[in-house]
Amino acid sequence: MRALILIFSLLIFQPSLAVEPVKEAEFLGSQVVDELPNWFKASFMDFSEDLEEADDEGKHIMIYFHQDGCPYCAKLVQENFHDDALVAKLQKDFDTIETNMWGDRELTDWQGNDYIEKEFSAKMKIQFTPTLVFLNEKGESVLRVNGYQSIDKMQATLNYVSNKTYLNQSYASYLNGLKKDSSGTLNANAIFESGPHLLARSKTLPANKYLAVFFEEPNCTECDFFHKNLLSLDQTQNYLKQMQVVRFNALSDDKLITPSGERTTAKAWYDKLKLTYKPAIVFFDKEGVEVIRKDAYFKEYHLHGIMTYTLSGEYKHQPNFQRYLEDKSDKLRAKGVTVDIWK
């Protein structure tokens, strides 16, 4: 009995080992823009008035959607919005109005509906920043461009809109016409399935995996960068191996059947999807519904975020990708994992 009491006493009074809490990891890559260019329009955020004033001057409206700390937005402001030729073009042919994706300023759209900025961004289905939306005099969106665009690409984009080329030619067709050399082959990678590509899937006949559809083109600097720096990563390969992965030359007439069962060509499908960048990736669920698309220049963290957003099924519960990515970042940091959104 005395032995049992002694053991019990030792257990009670044995000092417990202190468990140190996990220190929240760093958040890196965020970039703050101190101030926007002074040539942006000083709008009262009544888009009906803005459209009327722009029409009187023969201009289009360009709405610049951004968010605080966005490194892609900072790159656009610091490089594109300080390029002399680009700025001259913007001032001549466009009224540029900025909108914070998560802002609380009140505004009125061209149909007379009142919103605060974040409600308006949700209505416009803004998923990425920066996003540029171009409006004609009726308030119709004639073009939407997601993500950072190079200075040369943006110059071409502004010409497309200001010259009203959208009235008789799609944006994809317009850009294809500017390409000097469309010969050559695409970058090889074993992750891509060989054809024929019969991608039909539906609610009654779902597929076993999510679908990732790549669109690229020959002699494409951005495509080369993607293959060398992103597609080659083990993590990228691991995510893609969990999907059905196909790739098309967006300039080609290669035949295919889309997830909805439509017979078309690669070039026509790229055009119909209103994609604006190469390489683009469109992700579909097992029933053939588009989940999200990568249609802009993204680095590793955002690319992998799009993939986990799809594979985890979180898109079913959180319709806003930016909210998902913010929550994912917080959870990683709470576990002691450093997050670098500009990696």
Residue 64 confidence (pLDDT) above 50: yes
323 close to 248: Cβ distance less than 8 angstroms: no
pLDDT at res. 262: 98
116 close to 106: Cβ distance less than 8 angstroms: yes
Return the closest-CA partner of residue 273 out of 214, 226, 206, 203.
214
**Count of residues in the chain:** 343
Q: pLDDT tens, 181-201?
A: 888 899 999 999 999 999 999
Residue 89 confidence (pLDDT) above 70: yes
Do strands 280-284 and 211-216 pair parallel, antiparallel, or not at all (unpaired)? antiparallel
The pTM for the full model equals 0.90
Q: What is the mean pLDDT of the chain?
A: 93
Residue 7 confidence (pLDDT) above 70: no
186 close to 121: Cβ distance less than 8 angstroms: no
Structure-token pair, residue 261: 């069962």
338 close to 26: Cβ distance less than 8 angstroms: yes
Residue 248 confidence (pLDDT) above 80: yes
User: Mean of the pLDDT values across residues 131-154?
Assistant: 95
Return the closest-CA partner of residue 260 out of 291, 282, 289, 280.
289
Residue reference for tokens 């257990």 = 11
CA distances to 121, 125, 146 from 137, in Å:
20, 21, 22
Buried b / exposed e along 121-143 (16+ C-beta atoms within 10 A): beebebbbbbbbbbbbeeeeebb
Residue 78 confidence (pLDDT) above 70: yes
Phi-psi region of 112 (alpha: psi -120 to 50; beta: other; left: phi over 0): left
Residue 104 confidence (pLDDT) above 50: yes
Structure-token pair, residue 104: 């609380």
Q: What is the CATH number of domain 47-168?
A: 3.40.30.10
222 close to 277: Cβ distance less than 8 angstroms: yes
Q: How far apart are CA 164 and CA 142, in angstroms?
A: 9
Q: Residue type for 313, please?
A: G
Number of CB atoms found within 10 A of residue 38's CB: 6
Q: Residue type for 284, please?
A: F
Question: Domain ranges in the chain?
Answer: 47-168, 197-312
User: Mean of the pLDDT values across residues 266-287?
Assistant: 97
Do strands 60-66 and 27-28 pair parallel, antiparallel, or not at all (unpaired)? unpaired
Structure-token pair, residue 59: 């201009």
Q: pLDDT tens, 209-227?
A: 999 999 999 999 999 999 9
Cis ω for the linkage preceding 15 (within 30 of 0): no
Check if 47-168 and 197-312 are the same fold: yes
Domain 197-312, second-level architecture: 3-Layer(aba) Sandwich (3.40)
Model confidence band, residue 180 (pLDDT cutoffs 50, 70, 90): confident
